[in-house]
Every structure is written in C-alpha cells, then in structure tokens.
Chains A and B, each alone.
Chain A
Amino acid sequence: MLKALTSRLTQAVLVMLVVTACAFLMFRYVGDPVRVLSREDATQEEKAELARALGLDRPVLVQYGGFVARVLRGDLGVSFRNQRPVATLLAERLPATLELVFAATVLALSLGIPLGVLCALKPDSVLARAVQALSLVGVSTPTFVTGIVLILVFSVGLGLLPSFGRGQTVDVFGWPTGLLTASGWRSLVLPSVTLALYQLTLIMRLVRSEMIDALSSDYVRYARARGLPERYINFRLALRNALMPVITVTGLQIGSLIAFAIVTETVFQWPGMGLLFIQAVSFADIPVMAAYLLFVGLLFVAINMLVDVIYALVDPRLRASAR
C-alpha cells in the first residue's frame, strides 16, 4: 500500500516537473522578458544590465531552479498586458469559474442520473428512444454552438435571461459570489446549462450502461428470486452499485470541465479563468498562459492521484495486489 502510494506520488511529482519545465521554457524563451520589461529605446548596455539583473545570464538549470522556487512561493510573474501579478489575476477569476463548474455538475448529475436509469429500465419507451437519439446529437454539437443557440432563443428571442457576465456579486469572506443575488442566478442559468449539456450526455450513457450491467448481475437475479419488490431491486440494489463509477467519472471530469469552461466563458463573456486564458492567448501574454498551464496541470495531476488513491483504499483487490 505504502509502496504503491510512494510510486504514485513520485510519478505525480515528475509530471509536475515536466509541466513546470514547459511553463519555464515558455516564460524564458517565448516571452523574451528583456524586450517586454525594457523601454522601447533601451540601449544594448541597458538590456544586458536588465538581463543580468533578472538572472538571465546564469546557467539554464539554475534559472529553472529559481523559477520553481518562485512558483512554490506563489510568485507567478507579472502579466504583460495589464501589469498586475498573475497570481492575483488568477485568484480573482477562480471563484467565477468554480461556481460555473459547480452549478453545471449539479445540473448534469440531477438530470443525467434519472435519464440514464430511465433508459436502462424502459429501453423501448418512446422517451428513452428520444433521449438516446438526442444524446448522439448532443455529443456532436460543440459547446459554443449550444451556447449561441441558447442565447438566440432565451436572450435575443424571448428576452428572458441575460447573455453575458455574472450579474451582481456579493463578497462573502473575500469570495465574490453570484449565488446570493437574483441577477447572479439569472446570469448563471444559460452558461451552466451549456456547460452541463456536455457532461450530461456522458453521465447519462454511463448510468445507463452501468445500470444494465447491474440489472443482469447475479445478486439482482437472486433478489428477484427472493421476491423482493421491483422498486427495491432497481433503486436500492442496482442503482447504488451503478453509481460508484459515476462518482469517479464525475470527479475526474471536474478537470476537463474547468478546461471546457474556456469555451463557455468565451461565449457568455463569463469573467472566469478561461476567459482570462483565452485573452492571454490572443495577446501573447506569456506569464498568464504559463500560470494557467501550471494551475491546470496541478489540478489534473492532483485529481488523477486522488482517484488512484481512493481506488486503492476502496477496492480490496487493488489493496491486496499493492501489498
């Protein structure tokens, strides 16, 4: 157990080192800090002086070490575009993205699980067939198209909901939340539905196939033979077992959801990290890009490791083999 854990941890640290190395290379060579930080009319001597002051004349490995040390202290550099610390920028934008992702996940789960169960229990009903066909359309429709169509219908056509921004926010212990104001809730509807639709299909298909597997298992057959009520079998026995992988996948998906939020945030001008990143890309604002890469890299590595560890803790077979 301990051995498996250490090897997993070593792997995670290695991946993070690779990711920081990529971020460092972007920082050091793509951005050209000297050109950015010096005046337009700086002389060669002034530039060389600046390069020395920034430590750019030292060996690359030493520079990389310094970069890692700075990142560990939370110093992610200064944005080229608005001349503010990148760490602050990210921290400002994080709440908006997290609220969006959270709302989308809740929505996707609360719709996806019942629909998946329905498709598994009554595969030939009209509703189940319609849901199945729609899910294929859902997979083939990119997030931004869904967003545009929703804006066309509910904002432009019906004038019901706002189509950009997050409405009014209230500070709760330094966390600006939109969940406490009416306009915040109204602004959240369209973006979260857009983001949820992408995940909804996945959850629904997963619940359906897991549920079908569970329903054809031995314990369900014996439960039937014992004459247990159908509802008890379906929801207490089958669904419970079907939900385990759903929880794992939903957890794993949080990372991709944050990444996919880039598209949703662009469509709805949602002031989150994704919008910050895409603006950084179009302005070649390297420090922000590198910091976002680091943040998302850390997030993915952490989520993957957490899932592996939880699996090892939960599944007795994996525990035994790791010993």
Chain B
Amino acid sequence: MIGGLRKAPLSVLIAAGLAVTIVLVALAAPLVAPTNPLDLASFNLIDAELPPAWVEGGDPRFLLGSDNQGRDMLSAIIYGARVSILIGGGAVLVAASLGVALGLVAGFVGGRLDALIMRIGDVILSFPTILLALMVAGVARAVIPDASGPKLAPFILIGAIATHEWVQYARTVRAATMVEAQKDYVKAVRVIGLPTRRIMFGHILPNVMSPVLVIATINLAAAVLTEATLSFLGVGMPPTYPSLGTLIRIGNEFVFSGIWWIALFPALALVILVLAVNVVGDWVRDRFNPKLRGRKA
C-alpha cells in the first residue's frame, strides 16, 4: 500500500499528506493547540464571540475567532478533531474486529450459524447507518443514566456506529474464507489435525485481511461523518467534551446572529478531513479492485 503510493496521482498524494497531517496534529492536540479548551480556567467571557484575527475587531490571540464562552476556536477545533478521529477510528476497529470474526466463523463453519449471522446482517443493512445509530444511541441514553456524560458517550457512539458497519466486513471475509477453505494449504493443516480455531485465525485470517484494510480506509471517513451527524443532532458528545459535530451544533445557534465562525470553521475542518480520507480511500479501493483497474472510476 505504502510502496504503491509512489505511483499515485498528485491529488491522492496531496490528500494523503493532508489526512496524515490533520490526524497527527489532532492526536498531538495538547502539544500543538495554542490553549486548552477543556481547561475552564484558561478562557474568559470577556473574549467571547471575537471574530477571526483578519476580520475587523479580531484579536491576534484568536486566529479563528472565539466562541460564545471565549474559547479559542482553533484550539477547540484541534481538540474536537482529536475526539472525532478517535471515535471514528474506534468504531472502525470495533466494526472490523467483530465483522472479521463473525465472517470467518460464518464462512468456515457454515450451516445454520452462517445463515443466522448473514440474515441478521441482511436486516441491519436494509436500514441506513444513521437511523440505526440514532436508535442505538437513543435507547442507550434512555437506559443508562449517565450515557450522555463525557465518560460513556464515546463508547456509546462507537457501539452505535459499529452496529451497522460490521456487516460489510463480515460479508467480505465470509466470501473470501469460503474460497480459502477450498485451497490446498487449508486441507493440509486440516489433515495435520490442527484445531478449527487455529486454522481459522492462524491460517485463513492472514490471507483474507487485505480487502478488510481497504474497507476500513473507506469506512473511516463514513464513521467520522456519522459521529459528526449524531453529535450535531445532540445524541453524541456533550458540549463539555466536544467533537467537531458538537462544535458545529453549538455554532449553529449563533448562525442567525451573523456569528458565522463558530459553526463554519469546525465544519470546514470536518469537510477537509473527510474529503482527504475519501480521496485516498477511493484510490485504494480502485487499486485493490482488479475489475476497476484500467477503467476510470
């Protein structure tokens, strides 16, 4: 994957660079951000609603302006991006692990278990991600008392997104496993008498992983978007520990008074992040799909 990047078109290289930079900056938020927006003592209401530095009335201390509580928007965005990326990445990780495990079992064991897993997947896939995620998050908030608190919210979001996304992995891995299971090396290890679990995870798994990585790249953008949408709708991260979606939700209340920067800059950051990941993801998918090779997608 990395080696092939040398032959990639310029747009993909730029997108990849952008995506890596955003992720690195976001993950290193405490080192990079000018202030700590989570530290209540670091900001002051006197600085509230200042426009970006280059606009009249702006303050050079707040490059992208400040929000309604006097927090620096740039710092809030960097910290928010960190939350978004960690939740998006977490959701991809959980969905991929669950999907790969279930897909392996379905493909290798077959029979009723296979039918059961795949039917559940069919039902889940007939609903859009956002709807299912809203339902899961909504029910979780009704059942668990502290579900909207900053400690539990990320895990609920990850679970809500992964509920839908695992099916794609399971379907792909199941199909690949069925092909692998017929090959000679699997027959050979069966003859040796290795336990099923070791055949599945030790021998088949490494050979079905490459499509999983492709799906994971594409899914990362989708997961970040779903998280942002849930947070925007008010069932995601709380304002005390905002993700990019939460920041946009907060900013949305000020749009009508002409204070555009509180909503617009986090939105811009979100779009750039997702766009960059999408460009890379599309390219990776086309490269790994022999059917599409040579054809412009």
Q: Chain A interface (Cβ within 8 Å of chain B)? A: 15, 18, 26, 30-31, 136-137, 139-145, 148-149, 151-152, 155-156, 163, 255-256, 259-260, 262-263, 266-267, 277-278, 280-282, 284, 286, 289, 293, 296-297, 300-301, 304
Contact = CB atoms under 8 A, between A and B. Distances in A.
Given A148-B255, A156-B255, A260-B128, A142 B139 contact: no
Given A30-B143, A144-B232, A163 B256 contact: yes
A278 B232 CA distance: 11
B209 interface: no
A18 B123 contact: yes
Nearest to B258: A156
Contact of B234 (A155, A278, A286, A304): A278
Contacts, number: 111
A297 B123 CA distance: 10
A143 B139 CA distance: 24
Interface in B200-237: 221, 225, 228-229, 232-235
A278 B275 contact: no
5 contacts: A31-B142, A137-B275, A152-B264, A289-B138, A289-B142
Contacts of B251: 148
Interface stretch (B2-10, B65-73, B87-95, B129-137): B129-137
A156 B258 CA distance: 7
Contact of B267 (A145, A163, A260): A145
B181 interface: no
Given A26-B139, A144-B248, A145-B248, A282 B131 contact: no
B274 interface: yes
B111 to A, nearest CB: 19
Contacts of A156: 255-256, 258, 260
Contact of B270 (A142, A163, A293, A301): A142
A144 B126 contact: no
Mostly helix, strand, loop or mixed at chain A's interface?
Answer: helix
A278 B233 contact: yes
B263 A148 contact: yes
A15 B139 CA distance: 20
A148 B229 contact: no
Contact of B126 (A136, A151, A284, A304): A304
Contact of B131 (A259, A267, A284): A259
A317 to B, nearest CB: 22
- Find the residue from A145, A156, A282 having the highest chain B CB count within 10 A: A145
Interface residues of B, number: 39
Contacts of B271: 137, 140-142, 145
B279 A136 contact: yes
Interface in B96-154: 123, 126-128, 130-131, 134-135, 137-139, 141-143
B278 interface: yes
Nearest to A280: B138
- Find the residue from B128, B234, B279 having the highest chain A CB count within 10 A: B128
B252 A148 contact: yes
Contact of A263 (B130, B270, B282): B130
A151 B255 contact: yes
Given A152-B264, A259-B131, A140 B229 contact: no
B278 A139 contact: yes
Nearest to A143: B229
Given A140-B221, A140-B275, A262 B233 contact: yes
A263 B128 contact: no
A281 B123 contact: no
B197 to A, nearest CB: 30
A260 B142 contact: no
The 10 closest A-B pairs by CB, nearest first: A140-B275, A281-B138, A284-B142, A259-B131, A140-B274, A145-B267, A256-B128, A259-B128, A144-B232, A30-B142
Contacts of B130: 259-260, 262-263
Nearest to B126: A300
B142 A15 contact: no
A286 B142 contact: yes
B56 to A, nearest CB: 17
B232 A281 contact: no
B268 to A, nearest CB: 9
Contacts of A297: 127
